[in-house]
Structure 1
Amino acid sequence: MAARRGSPSCSPRRAASREGSAGSRPAMGPPPEAGLAAVETAEGGAVLLLAPQQALSFTGKCRLRCLYGAVRLLGFAVAPHQPALPVFSPATHCALTLEALPAARPPAADLRQLRAAARAAMRAHRVRRQARVKAMARFSPECAVVLLEHLDTPLTRFLLSYPLMSRVFKPQGKEQPGFTAEDAVLAAVGVVACSPGCGLLLSESTCLALEELLRASCAEDEGVPLILVCGPKNTGKSTFSRYLINLLLNHLPSVEYMECDIGQAEFTPPGCVSLSTVTEPILGPPFTHQQTPRKMVYYGQTSCEQDTERYLDVMKYVFSSYKKEVPLVVNTMGWVKGEGLLLLIDIIRLLSPSHIVQMDVYDWKAMAPLTPEYVHLAPGLYTKGRQQAKHVGTSGAESWKSAEGEGDASAPEHKLLYVHPEFPRAGVAGEARVHSGILRDMSILGYLGQLQSPDVGAVLPLNSLVPYQVPFSAVALRVVHTDVAPTNIMYAVNASWVGLCTIPEDVRSQGDGPVLLTQTPLCDCLGFGIVRGVEMEKKLYHVLTPVPPESLRQVNCLLLGNIAIPICVLVDQQGVEGEIPYVTSDYNYSILGSGKLKKKHFKRRKYDYT
C-alpha cells in the first residue's frame, strides 16, 4: 500500500467519548431511532452507513473499504482513496470499534454532487440497485459509507481448522437480544456487533499521551522521537503501541517498532527480540500479522530472568540496526518488580528514549514514576545511578554501558507520559482475557499459517507437507535454555520448534554426528521451523518451515529454545490414523531440553475464551 500522506487527521481525544456520541443526532443525519444502517450487497457484502461519530464495536473478521467520508479503526483513519484493508477482531482480544470521523457540513449547492459521488462509489463496487436505493434513503452528506466484505485467508482457514480454535472469531458470551435485519446483514459478512463496552476505552491520560507523541513525531525541527512503552502486565502496552503506530501512519509513511517483550511479541513468534519497519496499519492481534522483521534474534525463552546479561546483549545487537530516520516505538516486558525494574532502568539507559510512556494502575505500588531524575539516580541491574559507588561487577553488560559514562546519568532527559488505563481488571495479570500461553500458541499457529497455499482451497495439514532435508554437516546445533548431554541431543531436537539462524563462522563437522556449539551465538534469526524428524542413517534433519529458499541458503545454525510446538499441532492434525507421532505416555522425563509435554499439561491449558 502506498504511503498515506494527506489521510484525514484523527484526534484520539474524541475516541474517549465515542460511545456517548454513537446515538446522537447530527445535522442532516438519521434520527436517533434509525439505529445502525446496514444494507446487503449483491456479492454478500454489507454497506454500512455511520453518522458522524457514530460507532460500531464488533467481533469477527472482514475486508473493509471506505466508499465515502472517513472512518477510524484503532487509530487509523481510512479514506476512500485507500485500498481495502483486512480487519480481525477475535474474541480473544478487545473488540475493534469502527467510528465515523466528524465531517464539515457541506454547502447546499454541493449536496446533489455528494449524493451522486456516494451512489457512484457503491455502483463501482457492485452494490445492487435495490440496496443503493435503500442506502441513499438514509444517506447524509456528513456520514461515512463503508463496504464490508467476507474475508477468507489461508491463515484463518488454517487456524480455524483446529477444534480448539474454531470459535476464535465468534462473539463472546451470550447472543445479544433483539437480533435485527441489520445484524443479519453483518453476520452474513462475518461480523457480529457487540456492546460499546467491549471495545477499546481510551482514558483521558491515554488521549493526552497520544496527542503529545503525535505532535513530537510530526514536528520537523525536533528530530525523530524514540518512544519506550513500559508498565506491569495486563495494562494495555501492546494495544497502546498498535493504536500509536496506526495514528502515526496517518501522517508518516513508516514507523519503526522494536519488540523487547519476548513473552508476547507483536510480529514474530514468542521468544524473539526484533526490529520491524511498519508501513501498514495493524488491525488485528499478533497472530494475524506474523512477518519477518528487519532484524531479529531468537532469545529462545518467554522470560529473561535466568539470563538477563544475554537479553541485554541481544537488545543492543538489535537496536544497533535502528537508523534514527523515523520514529521508533519500543515495547517492553511486564516484568517490573524487583530485578525486573532494575533491568528496565538498564534498558532505558541503553536506549536513551526521548519519551517514556508509563502504563500504570492507580493502586500499583511497586513501580515508581520513571522521571528523568529517578532514572539518573536509581541503580540498575548492571549500571549504577549517579550517587552510587564506582564499583561495577563484571558482566557481559559492561560492553554496552559506555554511552552512560560508566553508569553516570549523562544521557539526554526524556519526557515522561503517565497513562492510567481504565478497562476492567487493568493490571491484574491473573485475570487477563486469555491465558498468555494460549496467545503464544496462536502466534506460532499464525506463523505456521504461512505454509498454506495462497489460493482459496482446503487446508493442508502440516503432516501432509514435504519438509526440507538438511544434512547434519550443514548446520550447527545449540540448545539455548539448558544443558543437554551430546548423547541426548537428538531427543531434544526431534519434534522441536527451532530458530533458523545464520552465524558468521563456517560450520565444520568433526565426524558423522551433529555439529554442536558450546556457547549460544549472538546471531540473526531468519525464521522458524519444526524439526519433523531426524534420519540417523542418512544424517538428515527434516525441517518444515515457511522461510523462502533464498533465505534458507543463509541458514547454518539451528537454535532450540524453551518454546514448545502448540499441543493442537500434535494431537489435532487431520489425516492421522492410529498412534499419533511424538505423543506417548511412555517417555523419559529426565531428558533435558526436549520440550516435553506431560499429560497433566494437556489438561491444564484450556482454550476457553468465550
Structure 2
Amino acid sequence: MVRSCETIAYDSVTSPPPVALVCGAKNCGKTAFSRHLLNILLQRYQKVAYLDTDVGQTEFTPPGFLSLTVIDQLTPDLTIPCLKTPEREYCMLKGSKKPVKTELPLVVNTPGWVKGIGHDILVDVLKYIAPTHVVKINISAEGKNLPSGAFWLDEDHKESVNLIEVSSARQDSFKRSVLVQKDAGLLRDLRIMAYFRQCFPSNLNITTIKELAHALTSHPPYEIPISSIKIKHLHCQLVLKILKIYLHALALEREIPEDDARLLLVSRAYDNQRLRFGTGPGRP
C-alpha cells in the first residue's frame, strides 16, 4: 500500500497534480488507503482535495453527504474519525461537459457498491472525472471484485491511465485478502454525534445518542427569515408536459364534456402551472 501511494504522489510524469480514484468492493480498505494516500500527498503538496462519494460511510462529514474537502494537515491516527468543513467553492460548473481543473491533487473515495447499478454509476464517475490514477483494491473472493483491467474505458479510448491493482491489506490465516468487518451503523452514529457535538461546549458531557438528542432539543434553534428561502421547481417543464398530454387526452381523445369535473380539475391545474412556470393561462 505504501509503495502504491508513493507511486501516485511522486510520479514525476504527472502534471498537473494527480487525480487518484480508489475503488473496490465494500469493506476492502478503500477509506484506509485513501487517508494514507492523503498523508503521503501532503508530504509533497501543501493542500490535497478529497472527494467523498461514499455517502453511506463518509470520512470527513456526517453520513449522507457528497463532499469535497480540502485537507492541509496530516492525520496522525487514521482510526480516529475526523470531521472537517467541506470546501463548497470547489465544484463542477453548471452546464460544463468537462470537470473543472484544479491546482490541487485530488483523492476520490468511492462506495463499495460495485455490482449492477452501482457498477454503472462507478463507470460514469470514472469517465466524468477522468483520473490520472485508478487504484483498484481486490480481495481473494473474485466474485466480489470489479472486472479486471480498465473496465470503464471504451475500446476506442486513446488516453492513458495508470491502473494500480492491490490486494486488501487484511488477510486471513491462509494469507488471503479478505473484507474488513465494520459496523457501518455504529460508524454512522459516531459521525453524527461528532458532527452535532460541535454545537455544544467541550466540557458538556455527551456520550450517547439519547444524551445528544436531549441536548439538541434544549438548544436554541437557528432562525431563518422566510424571505431568504427560495424553492426551485426542478421538473416544472415535465409537469407541464404531462398535464398538457393528460388534458389533450381527456378533451379530444375521450371526448369528455367541457363541464366534466375531471377535465375542469386538470385544466385548472394546467393553468396554474403555466401561470407559475409557463407563458400564462389558457388551454393548449
Q: Could you tell me the TM-score, scaled by structure 2's length?
A: 0.67
Change (3 A) 1:344 1:282: same
Contact kept, 8 Å, 2:133 with 2:163, in 1: the verdict is yes
Which of 185, 203, 220 does residue 466 from structure 1 map onto? 220
Change (3 A) 1:316 1:419: farther
Give the residue type in structure 2 aligned to 1:332. Answer: T
Which of 239, 263, 271 does residue 32 from structure 2 map onto? 239
| Paired residues for 1:554-569 under 5 Å | none
Q: 2-side partners of 1:207 and 1:227: how far apart? A: 15
| Paired residues for 1:41-120 under 5 Å | none
| Paired residues for 1:503-542 under 5 Å | 507=230, 518-519=233-234
* Residue 153 (structure 2) pairs with residue 376 (structure 1): yes
Contact kept, 8 Å, 2:170 with 2:179, in 1: the verdict is no
Query: 1:228: how far off?
Result: 0.5
Contact kept, 8 Å, 1:232 with 1:334, in 2: the verdict is yes
Contact kept, 8 Å, 2:134 with 2:163, in 1: the verdict is yes
Change (3 A) 1:320 1:278: farther
> Hey, what does 1:272 align to over in structure 2?
65
* Residue 99 (structure 2) pairs with residue 351 (structure 1): no
Query: 1:250: how far off?
Result: 2.0
What is the DSSP-based 3-state SS (H/G/I as helix, E as strand, rest coil) of the residue aligned with 1:276? strand
Output one character per residue of 1:34-65: Cα deviation in whole Å (capped at 9) or x when no partner.
Answer: xxxxxxxxxxxxxxxxxxxxxxxxxxxxxxxx
Name stretches of at least 5 consecutive residues in structure 1 with no aligned partner.
1-205, 298-313, 378-385, 387-407, 476-506, 508-515, 521-610
Output one character per residue of 1:295-342: Cα deviation in whole Å (capped at 9) or x when no partner.
Answer: 289xxxxxxxxxxxxxxxx97869978543121111011000122222
What is the DSSP-based 3-state SS (H/G/I as helix, E as strand, rest coil) of the residue aligned with 2:39? helix
Query: 1:360: how far off?
Result: 0.7
Query: 1:344: how far off?
Result: 1.4
What is the DSSP-based 3-state SS (H/G/I as helix, E as strand, rest coil) of the residue aligned with 2:59? coil
Q: 2-side partners of 1:316 and 1:445: how far apart? A: 33
Q: 2-side partners of 1:255 and 1:220: how far apart? A: 18
Output one character per residue of 1:378-424: Cα deviation in whole Å (capped at 9) or x when no partner.
Answer: xxxxxxxx4xxxxxxxxxxxxxxxxxxxxx635x2211111101314
Change (3 A) 1:208 1:255: same
> Hey, what does 2:278 align to over in structure 1?
none
> Hey, what does 2:157 align to over in structure 1?
409
Q: 1-side partners of 2:131 and 2:63: how far apart? A: 24
Give the residue type in structure 2 aligned to 1:289. Answer: C
Larger helix proportion of the pair: 2
Query: 1:472: how far off?
Result: 4.3
Contact kept, 8 Å, 2:22 with 2:135, in 1: the verdict is yes
* Residue 1 (structure 2) pairs with residue 209 (structure 1): no
Higher relative contact order (CA 8 A, sep 6+): 2
| Paired residues for 1:19-38 under 5 Å | none
What is the DSSP-based 3-state SS (H/G/I as helix, E as strand, rest coil) of the residue aligned with 1:353? coil
Query: 1:210: how far off?
Result: 1.9
* Residue 195 (structure 2) pairs with residue 447 (structure 1): yes
After alignment, is 206-215 or 350-359 more displaced? 206-215
Query: 1:224: how far off?
Result: 1.3
> Hey, what does 2:212 align to over in structure 1?
none
Give the residue type in structure 2 aligned to 1:417. Answer: I
Q: Alignment identity in percent?
A: 31
* Residue 114 (structure 2) pairs with residue 365 (structure 1): no
Give the residue type in structure 2 aligned to 1:250. Answer: Q
Change (3 A) 1:315 1:360: farther
Q: 1-side partners of 2:108 and 2:219: how far apart? A: 37
Give the residue type in structure 1 aligned to 2:182. Answer: R
Which of 21, 45, 48 does residue 228 from structure 1 map onto? 21
Which of 417, 420, 434 does residue 167 from structure 2 map onto? 420
Output one character per residue of 1:483-542: Cα deviation in whole Å (capped at 9) or x when no partner.
Answer: xxxxxxxxxxxxxxxxxxxxxxxx3xxxxxxxx65448xxxxxxxxxxxxxxxxxxxxxx
Query: 1:375: how far off?
Result: 2.8
Give the residue type in structure 2 aligned to 1:376. Answer: L
Q: 2-side partners of 1:226 and 1:409: how far apart? A: 18
Change (3 A) 1:518 1:325: closer
Q: 1-side partners of 2:16 and 2:81: how far apart? A: 32
Q: 2-side partners of 1:349 and 1:241: how far apart? A: 20
Output one character per residue of 1:101-135: Cα deviation in whole Å (capped at 9) or x when no partner.
Answer: xxxxxxxxxxxxxxxxxxxxxxxxxxxxxxxxxxx
Q: 1-side partners of 2:144 and 2:53: how far apart? A: 21
Give the total of aligned pairs: 223
What is the DSSP-based 3-state SS (H/G/I as helix, E as strand, rest coil) of the residue aligned with 1:375? coil
Q: 1-side partners of 2:220 and 2:66: how far apart? A: 30
> Hey, what does 2:182 align to over in structure 1?
433
